[in-house]
Amino acid sequence: MPSPSIDALAARLGIALRDPDAIRLAFVHSSYFNENATLVAGHNERLEFLGDAVIGVVVSSLVFDRFPDEDEGFLTARRAALVNRESLASMALDLGLQEMLLLGRGEAGAGGATRSSLLAATFEALAGAVYASEGLDVARDWLATAFRQRLGMSDGDAPPKSAKSRLQEWAQRNHRVRPRYELQEVSGPAHRQSFRVTAMLDGEPLAEGEGSSRQRAEEQAAEAALAGLRPAGRRSRARRGTRTGA
C-alpha cells in the first residue's frame, strides 16, 4: 500500500500513533480502492461514518461546557458553525490532508483533492481512524484542542445564524415569501443515506444541496442559494450545493 507521510502527520496532530496502517486507511478514497483493490485493505467511508459521530460528541461537549447558560438552539448553532463542510475542509487543509489523499484517476483528474466535500469527509475519516486506533481519550484531546482554537468566541457573542435562517430573512425582505425545500432523491444504503433537496422560491429552483440527513441537505441548499444571489439582491441561476459527511 502507498505510504503517506504518517510520521509528519503525527507530528502535526501531536500524537504518537501506535498503528500507522490504520491511519493510512483514512486517506483511501473509494475511487482509488475501486481501481486498486489488491493494493489496499479497503477505503475510508466506514471511518468517515465513525469520525462524524466522534466529532459530533466532542464538539457538542465543547460548546456545552463553554456556554453553560445557553439553550439548545444557541448550542446547536455554535456546533453547526464548527462542523460544517467548509470548516472541516479548512481544518483538513491546515493539516495538509489533501497531499495524502489516494484518489482514482478520474477523481484526481476532476480535482477531487480540492473539493470541500471530499476534504471534509477526509477529516472525518481521520477522526474515525484516530479514535479506532488510538482510543477515545487521544481522539478527544486532539479534536478538542483543534476545535477550541476555532471556537474563539466570547460568552457574549450572538449565535451564528444558519444558512436557512439567512435565506428566509432575505426572501421575506425581498419577495415577502418563504423559501421551501423539495426532496428530490434519497440514495444509498439505510445506514449511509444521502439526501438531495432543492431550495425553491415562488415555484422557481434556487439551488440544490446534498447531505447525510434531510436537514443537512436543506442547509447546503440554502448555502448554495445564498452564494448565488447577486449583490443587488436579485436571484441568479440555481447553483448546486455539495454534500457534508458530518
C-alpha–C-alpha distance, residues 17 and 23, integer Å: 8
Confirm if 167 and 197 have CB atoms less than 8 A apart.
no
Q: Given 48, 107, 124, 219, which residue is catalytic?
A: 124
C-alpha–C-alpha distance, residues 122 and 30, integer Å: 11
The pLDDT-based confidence of 180 (bands split at 50, 70, 90) is very high
Q: Which fold has domain 6-151?
A: Ribonuclease iii, N-terminal Endonuclease Domain; Chain A (1.10.1520)
User: Could you count the other beta carbons within 10 Å of the beta carbon of residue 156?
Assistant: 5
155 versus 15: which is more confidently predicted? 15
Active site (annotated) includes residue 69? no
Domain boundaries, the chain: 6-151, 163-240
Strand partners, 187: 194
Least confident residue range of 59-63, 110-114, 131-135: 110-114
Taken in order 96, 23, 119, 32, the sign of the CA dihedral is positive
Q: Given 45, 48, 52, 134, which residue is catalytic?
A: 52
Active site (annotated) includes residue 72? no
Mean pLDDT, to the nearest integer, of 68-73? 82
- The single residue listed with the C-alpha cell 448553532 is 77
Confirm if 56 and 167 have CB atoms less than 8 A apart.
no
Strand partners, 149: none
Q: What is the pLDDT of residues 25-48, one digit of tens each?
A: 999 988 888 788 878 877 889 999
Q: What is the pLDDT of residues 221-243, one digit of tens each?
A: 998 999 887 443 444 444 444 44
Return the pLDDT at 189. Answer: 83
Least confident residue range of 43-57, 78-92, 128-142: 78-92
Return the pLDDT at 240. Answer: 40
Return the pLDDT at 117. Answer: 87
- The single residue listed with the C-alpha cell 480535482 is 111
User: Could you count the other beta carbons within 10 Å of the beta carbon of residue 141?
Assistant: 15
Task: Say yes or no: domain 163-240 is CATH 3.40.50.300.
Answer: no
Average pLDDT along the chain:
82
